[in-house]
Structure 1
Amino acid sequence: MKILSCNAGYLLGYQNILGGYVPPPVGSLLGDAETERRKLEQLVGVIERERPDVVSLLEVDRGSHRTITGGQFRTLVESLRERGLSYGGDVANKYGDGGIVELLPFFGHLANAVLSRTDRLATTHYLSAGRKRLVIEMELAADTVLFVVHLSLGARSRGRQLRQLAELIAERTDGRDVIVTGDFNTFAETDELDAFADRTGLETRVPGETVPSRPLDDLLVTSRSLDLFLCSPSIDVERCDVLDVQLSDHRPVVLETGR
């Protein structure tokens, strides 16, 4: 089983503006057709090379004024199909389900997604803490469940989210093996995941640094390993790597297991 996890950054690319602390201002507001085409092609190429069974895909645009597509998730699936790769899956608003934010013209199009090469059911959940609250659950096998997350930037909200996520895992897995992946926003080291790992019985698997080094990082952050995995101890992890591809301000990560 191979899982690829990628924060696509709405296919806006990565520009070193003010040391990397500011996203591209025009692209963030209006979009950038050339960059979006290039990054979509790059993302398709990564998936084609790796051939993952499942893709955790964060920060995709479902069709706002900023994208040249009718929806980046749908366009990605169609582009993969043109290359002979059949993926299905689900995409959902990252902020809430049927709330005020989802109804707003711009924020209602901002989403996370999961793709799979086989017919796997995806279930969405929303945590009560933080702004980015979506959790996508997918059954990988009869005995293994995947959870895809994109946690809050705020440490207090993130702590509450991790406690709720631990409760959700206990409710939904019924003793089955678990893999959790996504963007954990752990700028303050992955030590803050220790309590979550203790509650869930999971082991933290850190592929490496997934965001570029910035000039003031030594003052502002203590870790650049934001995208990672937590796995049940019984899962045989054969590979856990950062891919050397700068798709956005994050690099993709891959986990390969022996089952």
Structure 2
Amino acid sequence: MQRIHATAMPHYTQPRPHSIEGLHQVAERAVGTVQRESLSLLSFNIQVGIKTQAYHHYLTRGWQHLLPHRQRNQTLDQIGRLLRQYDLVALQEADGGSIRSGFINQVEYLADAGRFPYWYQQLNRNLGKLAQHSNGVLSRLEPSFVEDHPLPGLIPGRGAILVRFGSGENALLIIVLHLSLGARTQDRQLRYIRELVEHHPHVVLMGDMNNPLEHLRSRPALRGLDLISAEETLPTYPSWQPKHALDHILISPSLEVRSARVLDCTLSDHRPIAMEIGLPPCLQHL
């Protein structure tokens, strides 16, 4: 299957479906359908490959959000090696190829470094040559459907990716998202997400949600979905001394949390969060 280049996504409120046509496949790494009882998941806000290891680095290294840095790809290589042990990875704050990244699509770069056969980039804020703010998905399983969803907000630039494995009731629906900072906007975004997932029995929400878990669970938009997570609080921010649980993986009760942890990793200002989920028999042939 020839690699297909994704196109820039305009800012509008309706979803833009790409189906399988928007997915990138590295043909020589394609894998067949196998029976599996579990999936290993990881969500990571990579901060466009900037190592922020102290608060003062936001000032002293802030220029790297605008200009290229010779060590950025070394950081991406380290991240890529970290990702190799996971089946599906959700990326936030990746660059799709601009001046600051040396015109490298960081989602594609990490797919190659992590040896993933399938990858997908969602362009959320297109600043031309200056920045290509993106989310991304890396997968070892071939999705049956991929869809872009710009999230509502006063300022465009936040998005969710819907990835489906399988079909019908025996499908696994994964939503990769990066929520805004403001509570009112988050409520609108979570209501939008609820409309995508509330009628699906097997759902995973994963990403940078910019909110502690107890606050998310109290939001009306998530009530009644009965989403579960790790039993303990898993702080991910700031990476050098994590105190705040901002990154989460939430799953339907039909799925099982087998393990969950935050990785001891300071390659970004967030630490990655990992979870192994058990699959019911109906999902073991994805």
- The interval holding the TM-score normalised by the smaller chain is 0.7 to 0.9
Shift of 1:86: 3.5
User: Match of 1:13, SS?
Assistant: coil
Once residues 46 and 127 of structure 2 are traced to their aligned partners in structure 1, the CA distance between those partners, rounded to angstroms, is 23
Mapping of 1:1-259 within 5 angstroms? 1-18=39-56, 22=59, 24-34=61-71, 36-48=72-84, 51-80=85-114, 85-95=115-125, 102=126, 104-107=128-131, 109-120=132-143, 121-130=145-154, 131-141=156-166, 142-170=170-198, 174-186=199-211, 190-195=214-219, 196-205=221-230, 208-212=234-238, 224-259=244-279
SS in 1 for 2:269: coil
**Structure 2: stretches of 5+ with no match in the other structure:** 1-38, 280-286
Verify the 8 A CA contact 2:66 2:130 in the aligned structure 1: no
Displacement of 1:128 in angstroms is 2.0
Q: Once the two structures are aligned, what percentage of the paired residues are identical?
A: 29
> Does the Cα contact within 8 Å between 1:133 and 1:151 map onto a contact in 2?
yes
Report the 3-state secondary structure (helix = DSSP H, G, I; strand = E; otherwise coil) of the residue aligned with 2:100.
coil
Number of the residue aligned with 2:282: none
Is the CA contact (8 Å cut-off) linking 1:138 and 1:147 kept in structure 2?
A: yes
SS in 1 for 2:223: helix
Distance 1:47 1:191 in 2: 29
Q: Report the more deviating stretch, 130-139 or 228-237.
A: 130-139
Q: Deviation string for 1:95-154 (max 9, x for gaps)?
A: 4xxxxxx364434x1111101112113211112225342110112443321101100011
Change (3 A) 1:79 1:45: closer
Question: Is the 1:60–1:113 Cα contact (8 Å) retained in structure 2?
Answer: yes
The answer to whether the Cα contact below 8 Å between 1:7 and 1:183 also exists between their aligned partners in 2 is yes
The equivalent residue for 1:98 is none
Structure with a larger share of its residues in helix: 1
Partner of 2:20: none
Asked if 2 retains the 8 angstrom alpha-carbon contact of 1:150 and 1:184, the reply is yes
User: CA RMSD for the aligned pairs?
Assistant: 2.4
Whole-Å Cα distance in 2 between the matches of residues 16 and 103 of structure 1? 28
**Cα pair 1:14 1:23 within 8 Å, conserved:** no
8 Å contact kept, 1:8–1:250 = yes
Which whole-Å CA distance do the structure 1 matches of 2:116 and 2:62 have between them? 35
**What SS does the corresponding residue of 1:186 show, helix, strand or coil?**
coil
1:20-57 deviation digits (Å, cap 9, x = unpaired): 664722212213121x1221121112112xx2111101
3-state SS, counterpart of residue 270 of structure 2: coil
How far does residue 11 in structure 1 lie from its aligned partner after superposition? 0.3
TM-score by length of 2: 0.74
Q: 1:22 to 1:167 in 2, by over 3 A?
A: farther
CA distance in 2 between partners of 1:201 and 1:207 (Å): 17
1:94 to partner: Cα distance: 2.2
TM-score (norm 1): 0.81
The one-letter code of the counterpart of 1:234 is: S
Residues 66-110 of structure 1: per-residue CA shift (max 9 Å, x gap):
013531122222233xxxx34212101124xxxxxx364434x11
Q: Displacement of 1:177 after TM fit?
A: 1.0
Q: C-alpha distance in 2, partners of 1:236/1:194?
A: 22
Structure 2 CA distance, aligned partners of 1:23 and 1:87? Answer: 37
| Structure 1: gaps of 5 or more residues | 96-101, 218-222
CA contact (8 A) 1:89 1:122 kept: no
